[in-house]
Amino acid sequence: MPALWTDVIDPAELTGYARASLADYELQRGTLARWLPNRDTQDTVVRFVAGQHGLIPEARYRAYDAEPEIGKGQGGKRVTIELPAISQEVPVGEWQQLQQRRASDDDLRNHIARTVDNVVRAIADRVEKTRGVVLSTGKATINQSNFKIDDDFGRDPALTYTAPALWSVPTTDALSQLVAAQDLYVEKAGADPGTILMSRRALRALSATDGFVTTLGNGASRPATADQVNAIISSAGLPPIITYDRRTASGRVLPDTLVLLLPPEVDPTDWQGTELGATFWGETLTALDADYGIEPAETPGIVAGVYRNETPPLIAEVIGDSINLPVLANANLSLALTVL
């Protein structure tokens, strides 16, 4: 059976490298963690009260010396969600190890680090795909041959809809559609959206509709520039447009036909900065293994280690292990509008 191989690098150090690699990769690619930021939890489940956000009942004036009236707490459904495991291992075969047999320790460490980068990116891309599903549908749906979940966070069905006229038609009044979407968002959420998130394709279609095109001196017209679109958007009292087009090996994270209204973006680690939800990273059994040497306060999150067979063939495996799930705590703070 494989055993931890610590000749070159110990698991605690490799885990620190994996977490830094994850942060760098997300920064480079752009991530929906700007709206569902990463949050560590020393558990395998998430417990919260699913709210509608909305407006709280007003306080009432009182006479002097009269006792304050008791207010009503915000209602909500208590939710418990199990965090699923997501892991990957990449073998380092006998032949590959033979090619490295005269390499220095630094060379071996670099080879292992490059392999960990690939493992981390595979996990990061899968988590990002799940964030996309959660924001576009209001549910955490995973439908694999080996694992299935369908956690519904209770978004009002009215917040997921198709525009009455698509933006591929130049005469569509897309600006009025966005204003109507904002009005619906405010009605259901009790707060203004802070972001309009869309693909570059959707932005190009928006800029070519009649409300945004620029008429030239010769009577011809051209689509508005991105700056001009945002200026019109802002003058209508709408939040700024942010484009997002991240892809993984299985395709786009978000459909390029979709526009999302969301709260303002935050730092991917600022889970206290938004009421929309978070991407919870739990505590794996691997992280609790004494041989990994991970400090108790550092156990949540992705962990990494190298294992190697003790009998021929001496195949090694670089393994990344995690449990996580993006969660909507206030699902009505998201709206998904199909425009193409």
Q: In the numeric block, which tokens belong to residue 137? A: 């549908």
Q: Contact, 278 vs 327, CB < 8 A?
A: yes
Q: What is residue 294's three-state secondary structure?
A: coil
CA triple 176-177-181, angle to 5 deg: 115
pLDDT single digits (tens) 97-116: 556 665 555 677 788 889 99
Can you give the pLDDT at residue 54?
44
Nearest CA-CA partner of 271 in 322, 333, 327: 327
Say how far residue 338 (Cα) sits from the centre of its chain: 20
* Distance of alpha carbon 57 from alpha carbon 77, whole angstroms: 18
Digits of tens for pLDDT over the chain (340 positions)?
577 878 778 999 999 999 999 999 999 999 999 999 999 999 888 887 766 444 445 666 677 767 777 666 555 667 788 899 999 988 765 556 556 665 555 677 788 889 999 999 999 999 999 999 999 999 999 998 999 999 999 999 999 999 999 999 999 999 999 999 999 999 999 999 999 999 999 999 999 999 998 776 566 678 889 999 999 999 999 999 999 999 999 999 999 999 999 999 999 999 999 999 999 999 999 999 999 999 999 999 999 998 877 667 767 788 999 999 999 999 999 999 999 9
Can you give the pLDDT at residue 101?
60
Is the preceding omega at residue 313 within 30 degrees of 0, hence cis?
A: yes
Q: What is residue 115's three-state secondary structure?
A: helix
Torsion sign across C-alpha atoms 171, 172, 173, 174: negative
Can you give the pLDDT at residue 69?
73
Can you give the pLDDT at residue 198?
98
List domains and CATH numbers for the chain. 2-23+30-52+77-155+269-328 (3.15.30.10), 163-242 (no CATH)
End-to-end Cα separation, the chain, in angstroms:
53
Can you give the pLDDT at residue 289?
94
pLDDT single digits (tens) 9-55: 899 999 999 999 999 999 999 999 999 999 999 988 888 776 644 44
CA triple 12-270-117, angle to 5 deg: 40
pLDDT single digits (tens) 219-236: 667 888 999 999 999 999
How many CB atoms are closer than 10 A to CB 1? 6
- pTM here is 0.89
Q: Contact, 126 vs 166, CB < 8 A?
A: no
| 121-155 b/e (C-beta count within 10 Å ≥ 16 → b) | bbbbbbbbbbbbbbbbbbbbebeeeeeeeebebbb
* Distance of alpha carbon 35 from alpha carbon 33, whole angstroms: 5
Q: Please report which helix (H) or strand (E) contains residue 205, including its range.
A: helix 200-207
Report in angstroms the alpha-carbon separations of 119 from 3, 159, 218: 19, 36, 56
